[in-house]
Every structure is written in structure tokens, then in C-alpha cells.
Amino acid sequence: MRSRTVTWSDPARFAAARDLSGLDFLRAIQTGELPRPPIAELLGIFPVEVERGRVVFELEAAEFHYNPLNIVHGGVTATLLDTVMGCAAQSLLDAGVAYTTTDLQVRYVRAATVASGMLRAEGKVLHAGRRFVTAEGRVTDGAGKLVAHGSCGCLTIMPTR
């Protein structure tokens, strides 16, 4: 039997960051000024590049990501894609503006396993309107082979004052 202990910071800490733009918020997480969200702690997702309209996150494929077929569960890959595409959209938002994913399309190309090594996910904005953003994402394995790709839509949520 194996075990794993996960700890995370109180998500209420993010409320104090409402005055940051989306890009500054993501950079604060990348530098450690703000904690990673609980889902990132749980799965082991780390931001490695953050710029306007584009982000890169990494996740080391591990046994605790496995499904009964002894491969990384597709939901983990989908979560990684949702994260990078949503964060790419978030990187364009002004302070106080939030977003929510409206739809997510994922295409799996190959299975990931522990032997796949570091999974690298890149998200890029395709279109940014005032109320809706679309993005695309790609996950590659440690050898640079495509594991999955996808697209999403994000609805922007303006602050209520």
C-alpha cells in the first residue's frame, strides 16, 4: 500500500488578490507570493511560464494519477488542459474581473504513464472579446510527444459594485 499526504493553503487568501490583474495574480502564484490553489496542490500542477494570453504549467506523471488501466486518468489530463486554457484567458483580465469555463473539448492522442515523465501543458488565447474568450491547449510528454489537445470557451464575469 502507498500513501500520500496533501496540504494546501486556505483558498480565502485569494480574496485579497481581487485588486490584481489576472496576469499579476498568476505571476504571484508562479513566484510563490500567493499559494497554489488546492487543486494544483492535490494533482501537483506548477506554473512555469506566465505571459499575456499564454501560460505553461507542468505536472509530473505519477502513480496517484492512475486509473485502473495503469495510465494517467483522462480527467487529470483534462484538468491540466482546463487549467492552462482558463489561465491563459485569465491573464488578459483586469483586476476584479473573473471568468468561468463554459465548455471544454479534449482530444486524447496517447496515454500518459509514469514513464512519460513531465507533462507540459501550454494554453493560448485564440480570441478575446469583452464577454467571451476562447483558448486552445496542448499537453506533451517528457519526450515532446503530443498526449492531448483541446479548446475551451470562457465567460468573463464583471465585478458587481
Instruction: Give the separation between CA 117 and CA 81, rounded to whole angstroms.
Output: 17
Structural domain contains residue 33: yes
Instruction: Give the separation between CA 68 and CA 17, rounded to whole angstroms.
Output: 39
Q: What is the mean pLDDT of residues 39-65?
A: 98
Residues 6+ apart with CB under 8 A from 35: 8, 9, 13, 29, 41
pLDDT tens-digit series, residues 98-135: 999 999 999 999 999 999 999 999 999 999 999 999 99
CB-based burial label for 1 (10 Å; 0-12, 13-18, 19+): exposed
The dihedrals phi and psi of 46, each to the nearest 5 degrees, come to -125, 135
- The pTM is what? 0.95
> Residue 137 sits in which domain range?
18-157
Question: How many structural domains does the chain have?
Answer: 1
Structural domain contains residue 74: yes
Structural domain contains residue 13: no
Structural domain contains residue 12: no
How many CA atoms within 13 Å lie on the side-chain side of 77?
A: 28
Instruction: Give the separation between CA 134 and CA 136, rounded to whole angstroms.
Output: 7
To the nearest whole number, what is the mean pLDDT of the chain?
A: 96
* Residue-level length of the chain: 161
Chain centroid offset of residue 66 CA = 19
Q: What is the CATH number of the domain that holds 123?
A: 3.10.129.10
Structural domain contains residue 9: no
The whole-number pLDDT of residue 136 equals 98
Q: What is the mean pLDDT of residues 13-20?
A: 85
